[in-house]
Amino acid sequence: MLARVADHGRVVDALVNNAGYGLPGAYAATRWSDQQALLQVLLNAVCEMTHKALPGMIDRRFGRIVNVASLAGLGPGMAGHTLYGPSKAFLVRFSQALHGETLGAGVHVSALCPGFTRSEFHDANGTRAQADRLPSWLWQDADTVAAAGYAAVEANRAVCVPGAANQAIAALCKILPDDWVTALISRPARKFRNL
């Protein structure tokens, strides 16, 4: 893909790694090929695209990279969507490491960690009915989330959690022990994740 961009005499100054989906259900009840495909999209593709675009950004001393992680990457692992949260946690740490590596190089790297966002995500993974039962205060629209990600990468903030409710949840995940957070959300999470 980047070769085609170069063939047209263009460069990549901004990269938004936003491809992703969830795979609900118990890990042992899924096929490995499905889990492997999930990891390809959530991890390998992000790392590969970033690795290919970053050197040119550094050479030009300008670039913006937004890795769309998730609020799920800031808390303990949960049953169901078994690899989703850990993959998003990886993206947060990956973004923080790249942020540190590129300081002063004109390249800004941010991990965007939204919570529930109105999009086709829940339609694609078959959890729309469960998602629609969640309280409205948990939801943000995609434009608001995108604007927060843009502002964060322009300000060169390593991690962005958009929305007051999500920021409160992220703060609780930092200060409360993992087993407390797990106990608080495991019952609703089990219903939501088709377990």
Active-site residue (options: 21, 27, 84, 150): 84
Distance between CA 195 and CA 30 in Å, rounded? 12
β-partners of residue 117 are: 140
Cα separation of 42 and 143, whole Å? 22
Tokens 């995940």 correspond to 173
Examine the residue annotation and report whether 84 is marked as an active-site residue of this protein.
yes
Residues forming the active site: 84
